[in-house]
Amino acid sequence: MASQLRLRSSLALVTGAGGGIGRAVSVRLAAEGAAVAACDLDGAAAQETVRLLGGPGSEQGAHAAFQADVSEARAVRRLLEQVQACFSRLPSVVVSCAGITRDEFLLHMSEDDWDRVIAVNLKGIFLVTQAAAQALVSSGSPGSIINISSIIGKVGNVGQTNYAASKAGVVGLTQTVARELGRHGIRCNAVLPGLIKTPMTQKMPQKVLDKMWQMWSRSWHPKTVAISQGLQWKSLEVFSCNCLKDPGLCSLPHHSARPPADEDSEFPGYKRGGSVWLRNAECGRQGCL
């Protein structure tokens, strides 16, 4: 039971918590005993997530919902202030799941669609990461920042120039932040999910989804993973993080005692070309949480 409640003393802020991966992350964190500050642009969806939260270590009223647009600096700063006021402490775990798609072929993509996706998916993660890091460093508190990227950021995808660019940017941002914040005892990791059935991906045309599966199935191996209580969806097993000592949030069979020596190394959960190890070299310890 103790291992299941390892986050009992933690406060976790999750953006994009109103559905999909963000809601699943919130549920898992609550089950691990954390108090969850669930934030979403859709305040009602965030409230619904809070209603669903529970778990062995959770007490009634331990969680709270917040509404914010992560693409606006003032809104993000206000969010951190509201969370601290509500819980009388800073979040020690911050998970940025907020993301959108505005798919179109490069030849027809509008500047507005490009700008909005970059604003939410990349600028939003920058703003949340920066605000959380500033608060933690100022208070002298350690913490863990987890940014949700996407395998699209590594391999690209037809019709998703803006989305691919934003998710690739998240990886670069995370690698740099990890190096900068390690000396403060703050870990920063990125997770690169494959195709997961969420409200966002359900908006994609079926012919696009079919082409994605055809392209990826040649080099990636499908794996059924749970993304919310009671539900399991097919996903590509290409989650990436630096959880070398403690699987933490991920709890997927991709962990090993060490990174592979090369792409052909055999170790659980990864196939050729399937790993991105974001080592926080200056932090001294590794793992999402």
Main-chain dihedrals φ then ψ at residue 244, nearest 5 degrees? -85, -25
Question: Over the Cα atoms of the chain, what is R_g?
Answer: 18
The token pair at 168 is: 């690739």
Find the catalytic residue in 66, 126, 163, 239.
163
Is 88 within 8 Å of 190 (Cβ atoms)? Answer: no
CB atoms within 10 A of CB 202: 10
Q: Among candidates 118, 124, 134, which has minimal Cα distance to 96? A: 124
Q: Could you give the maximum distance between any two Cα atoms of the chain, in Å?
A: 55
214's CB contacts (< 8 A; 6+ apart) are none
For 174-209, give the DSSP string: HHHHHHHHGGGTEEEEEE-------TTGGGS-HHHH
The DSSP code sequence of 103-143 is: -B-GGG--HHHHHHHHIIIIIHHHHHHHHHHHHHHHHT--E
Examine the residue annotation and report whether 163 is marked as an active-site residue of this protein: yes
**Beta-carbon neighbour count of residue 83 at 10 Å?**
22
Active-site residues, by number, are 163
